Amino acid sequence: MPTTSRYKIDALARGLEILSLFTIERFSLNLTEIVTATQLNKSTAFRMVSTLEMLEYLERDPATRCYRPGLKVLQLGFAALNSLEISKIAQPYLKSLSNETGETTNMTIRDGADILYIARNPSRHIISVNTQLGSRLPVYCTSMGKALLIDLSWRELFDLLGEGPYPKLGPNTIISLDVLVSELERVRQQGFAINDEEMATGLISVAAPIRGPDKKVIAAINISVAGSRISRQELESYLAPKIVDTAHQISSALGASPQLTKK
């Protein structure tokens, strides 16, 4: 296949070449590393990354001056997400869990300070929040959001959410960073996250993280229940082990080693 063509747009090709530099092993690059890898001159490389940053394909960390993939890459990645069939791989496990418990099961990924629903098996029961595929909810007051945040440092959490106060959406909404940090430590220790009327009155849920082959949390799943039908104690003793076990199964199906899924 010819390497050049009269239809080739050099600027577009360079921009895509820069984006292709970012991998699991090299998730963050500074300008010098980009210049070295692409062999562009520094001025051209800076204009390219600045344009990609302006269009939200790259984002720059002010502290490290490094670039990493931005929101638009994530949106483009939805096609890749579908092609990798993460939600399709997870769906049989979630459907089985929903059938076993009679409750709603969901799967989300994190998009900035929101969670984004990519799989859902609603039960026949009416719950307080009407969500569907593509729905977004705040990451700080949802069980899946907390499961998705467990690997973030204090600084990363602060940069993402600030100190608070956060909007209070339910009777028990966590509204400060300090309380959230303490809650995330609890989630790490027990392996699951609880939402006890933090998002809405009468809604409780339990979630667990999904990890990929690189150890990173890539998604979260939960069981969502009306609080009038189950107590928090029952949620923790009966449903939590089931969601954790299902999360381990999905993580393994996505290529995580058994040791990583138990993290």
Q: Is residue 80 part of a domain?
A: no
Average pLDDT, the chain: 86
- CATH number, domain with residue 53: 1.10.10.10
- Cα(first)–Cα(last) distance of the chain, in Å? 46
Query: Is the pLDDT reported for residue 5 higher than 80?
Result: no
State the Cα torsion 186-191-197-198 to the nearest 10°: 60
Same domain, 178 and 243: yes
**Dist. CA 7–CA 69, nearest whole Å:** 27
Q: Which two tokens stand for residue 86?
A: 């993460």
pLDDT tens profile 182-220: 999 999 999 999 999 999 888 899 999 999 887 889 999
* Residue 78 pLDDT: 54
- The position carrying tokens 């040791």 is 259
Same domain, 156 and 209: yes
Q: How confident is the model at residue 249 (pLDDT cuts 50, 70, 90)?
A: very high
Same domain, 23 and 117: no
* Residue 31 pLDDT: 93
Cα dihedral across residues 155, 23, 74, 110: positive or negative: negative
The domain boundary residue, chosen from 21, 53, 73:
73
Q: Is residue 5 part of a domain?
A: no
**Dist. CA 196–CA 54, nearest whole Å:** 39
Same domain, 68 and 101: no
Smallest CA-to-CA distance from 144 within 182, 185, 192, 104 is with 192
Query: Is the pLDDT reported for residue 59 higher than 50?
Result: yes
Same domain, 148 and 109: yes
- The position carrying tokens 């069981």 is 223
CB 53 within 8 A of CB 34: no
Q: How confident is the model at residue 108 (pLDDT cuts 50, 70, 90)?
A: very high
For residue 185, give its domain range.
85-261
Query: Is the pLDDT reported for residue 56 higher than 60?
Result: yes
Domain total in the chain: 2
**Dist. CA 90–CA 11, nearest whole Å:** 39
Mean pLDDT, range 234-261, rounded to an integer: 85
Mean pLDDT, range 164-182, rounded to an integer: 94
Q: How confident is the model at residue 4 (pLDDT cuts 50, 70, 90)?
A: low
Smallest CA-to-CA distance from 243 within 193, 199, 203, 198 is with 193
pLDDT tens profile 144-171: 999 999 999 999 999 999 988 999 999 9
**Dist. CA 247–CA 30, nearest whole Å:** 35
The domain boundary residue, chosen from 20, 49, 73:
73
Cα dihedral across residues 89, 90, 91, 97: positive or negative: positive
Q: Is residue 19 part of a domain?
A: yes
Cα dihedral across residues 24, 251, 160, 115: positive or negative: positive
CB 207 within 8 A of CB 108: no
**Dist. CA 116–CA 259, nearest whole Å:** 27
- Choose from 22-31, 66-75, 211-220 the range with maximum mean pLDDT: 211-220
**Dist. CA 14–CA 155, nearest whole Å:** 33
Three-state SS for 139? coil
